[in-house]
Structure 1
Amino acid sequence: MHGVRVLIAPDSFGSSLTADEAADVIAGAWRTVAPDDDVLTCPLSDGGPGFVATLHRALGGDLVPVTVLSPVGEPVPVVFLRVGATAYVESAQAIGLPLVPPERRDPGRTTSRGVGDVLAAALAEGATRVVVGLGGSATNDAGAGALVALADALRVPGLSDDLARGGATLGAVTADDVAGLPALRDRLRGVDLVVATDVDVPLLGLQGASAGFAPQKGATPEQAQALERALADFAHVAAGALGDAVRPDLMAGARAASGTTRLTTAAGAGAAGGLGFGLSLVGGRLVPGSGFVADAVGLGARIAEVDLVVTGEGRFDWQSLHGKAATEVASRALAHGVPTVVLAGEVLVGRRELSAAGITAAYAVASTAEGVREALAAPAQTLAARAARVARTWSR
């Protein structure tokens, strides 16, 4: 009897395991338990950590090194991928949460300036198309810091350096501080700027950048509320500075009555602390990062050749249902009638939500606080042990 054809297609497990490492661990455990199964791997990214590595594996090209400033202003080495006239940039390399020590995590002060530096470097290399992967950031400044860095590099005046001092300063922004936005948008008009977001959330609101994500970056509840107000103020002033450039067609209806409304409610505007919104101010097109990567690696065709897909990530929670890799995998597997199994460090959603996302089953590596601590201490071993048990359940 032939074994099961299995595709292992995980995202990274937080900062514990890269997508490549997670795929190898799960596949190795599966092969040990079910040696007759045909096990293939396809590491993924949703636009966050691993975005460049995943695309480099699929597309080839050259990795270009550059040194930029971290969210707390310290030099950090990053690489972007150049394939012809297209550059692929991973924001997490420049402003990722692991770059900021826990005791220095303050999303009111961290800045996205480093991403603007990488974008400027890509443009200096002659890129006419830039794809920026968003996710896993330590910032909550609506991309204001990135815009300042871009303006400085391109010698576009009219953006105040105060915009690069963190989200907490944005509540005091004035029209003079963003007067250069129209010129920066015009300067980038010849660039196809694609923004691949890891989540489909808006800039503002209960699931937006501040309320939904700032707490995991170190914000207190009071600070998250203050950041919400500051980002709303910045959005209003920035959209006002751009005027007709971001004002929607009146035929679009009352719901899109202003440029502010249209840009702040766009799916992905709240990604990476609102960096999606900031890049949309200068012409960036927001697209789902997980779908972008899935297309690049030919995920649909790979799924069509197997009997089962195993995906995973560090923590499967409400955020996972808003554009993360696991739900993208499940959606594409459902189209081929292939069941999807999720392996995660923690599973914090119920069966109804899992079923609605097209996920057949989900298994947690740890289910208690002590189990989580043990898993973090030995991530590869605990994931392998769980994967082996799942293989016994799903293999013939």
Structure 2
Amino acid sequence: MRVLLAPDGFGSSLSATQVAQTVRDAWLSVAPDDEVLLRPLSDGGPGFLDALRTHLSGELLPVQVPSPVGVPVTAEVLLVESGTAYVETAQAIGLPLVPADRRDPGRTTSRGVGVLLQAALDTGARRVVLGLGGSSTNDAGAGMLAGLGLAPQEVLGGGGGGLGALRAHDLTGLRALRERLRDVEIVVATDVDVPLLGLTGASAGFAAQKGATPQQAQQLERELASFAHAAVEALGDAVRPDLLAARTTSAVSRLSQAPGAGAAGGLGFGLSLLGARLVPGAALVADVVGLDATLADVDVVVTGEGRFDWQSLHGKVVSEVATRALAAAVPTVVLAGEVSVGRRELSAAGITAAYAVGETPEEVRVALADPVGSLRARAVRVARTWSR
């Protein structure tokens, strides 16, 4: 039997490679004659560069950038021979970079991403691919713009909580910044396909896990909406080429409601102001690693992530693997730390079965204390069910 392991990472507990290796060892302990193939994936969030490096020849350039709370951290740019630079924004603004007692999406900033992007541009790369996901920020990419030199620095780089004070005349340099990057292809690989605003947007859908209270999430929604309107108005016909047919309001709606605009606290939207193209991160990585060709010759695929919930069905690795596996008539098995997706949703997503490492609060606590051991134990049971 040929088994394909194509997981994402399990949060900050295990990388995608560690997950794949652990499940492989567990599977072979049950079915030593099975052939197990490893294709660790990423949706654009943590592990983006690791998933790509195995399949792309290139070199890593270390870059010192400010963390979301201003502490210097080291991130990397992956430079490949084609003249493309790959960037993992979680290395600059990831949630683990912010101590638990300092998690405040009204203050954390994406400035480090701007510094990292500028470092990629300074190499001479004419194409930059940025992976978005796992962020601690909720500033619609305003900090990123500050990191690229846009003024006013203090407000743009101060977090999402103060963006409502900006007006179009404060952002007069935005159009020149977009023009400076006109000859660079910027591709944004987003971990989710959600918009900037609304019930599933950056603030309402994700600010709480970054430390926001419900009231603060509502305030951030207003701040980001105001910033989006000011930024689009400042860009003028750069994003509204037909002034007779389009108004600022419709341009704001088009950019802010684009799938992926709300990724990484709205960083997708901020990059789209610079002319970036938003694409699903899981699909981009799957194409690079040749997932379709591998699926064509396996009997079952096992994928997974730390928490399998509603977000998983909006552009994450699990949904991407399931869609491609369904097209290849290969059953998809999900192995996750926690599972909160119902059977009907599983069926609609093309997933055959889902198994949780931790099914009770106590099992979840054990899994967090011993992620490798707990994952291995559950993977053994999955292998006994699925191996011939």
Runs (4+) off by over 4 Å: 248-254
Structure 2 Cα separation of the partners of residues 30 and 97 of structure 1? 32
Structure 1 Cα separation of the partners of residues 57 and 198 of structure 2? 39
Is 1:16 paired with 2:16? no
Q: Deviations over 1:243-293 (max 9, x none)?
A: 111126589999x96210100000000000000000000111000000000
Q: Which amino acid aligns with 2:382?
A: V
Q: Which amino acid aligns with 1:117?
A: V
Partner of 2:109: 111
Is 1:299 paired with 2:291? yes
Alpha-carbon offset, residue 175 of structure 1 = 2.1
Q: Spell out the pairing of 1:278-297 with structure 2 (5 A cutoff).
A: 278-297=270-289
Match 1:242 to one of 235, 239, 248: 235
Gaps of 5+ in 2: none
Match 1:100 to one of 98, 101, 110: 98
Partner of 2:365: 373
Is 1:351 paired with 2:347? no
TM-score by length of 2: 0.97
Structure 1 Cα separation of the partners of residues 29 and 289 of structure 2? 27
Alpha-carbon offset, residue 352 of structure 1 = 0.7
Q: Which amino acid aligns with 2:107?
A: R
Gaps of 5+ in 1: none
Is 1:262 paired with 2:254? yes
Match 1:382 to one of 354, 371, 374: 374
Alpha-carbon offset, residue 299 of structure 1 = 0.4
Is 1:316 paired with 2:308? yes
Change in Cα spacing, 1:243 to 1:88, as seen in structure 2 (3 Å) is: same
Partner of 1:126: 124
Structure 2 Cα separation of the partners of residues 176 and 32 of structure 1? 65
Partner of 1:337: 329
Change in Cα spacing, 1:252 to 1:291, as seen in structure 2 (3 Å) is: farther
Partner of 2:218: 225
Q: Which amino acid aligns with 1:354?
A: L
Q: Deviations over 1:117-155 (max 9, x none)?
A: 0100011111110000000000000000001111x2xxx
* 1:248–1:257 contact (8 Å) kept in structure 2: no
Structure 1 Cα separation of the partners of residues 22 and 203 of structure 2? 34
Partner of 2:32: 35
* 2:229–2:249 contact (8 Å) kept in structure 1: no
TM-score by length of 1: 0.95
SS in structure 1 opposite 2:365?
Answer: helix
* 1:49–1:90 contact (8 Å) kept in structure 2: yes
Instruction: Please give the root-mean-square deviation of Cα atoms over the aligned residues, in Å.
Output: 1.5
Percent identity between the aligned chains? 69
Alpha-carbon offset, residue 160 of structure 1 = 3.7
Structure 2 Cα separation of the partners of residues 206 and 265 of structure 1? 12
Q: Deviations over 1:218-245 (max 9, x none)?
A: 0000000000000000000000001111
Alpha-carbon offset, residue 177 of structure 1 = 2.4
Is 1:80 paired with 2:72? no
Q: Which amino acid aligns with 2:144?
A: A
| Aligned residue pairs, count | 387
Structure 1 Cα separation of the partners of residues 268 and 339 of structure 2? 27
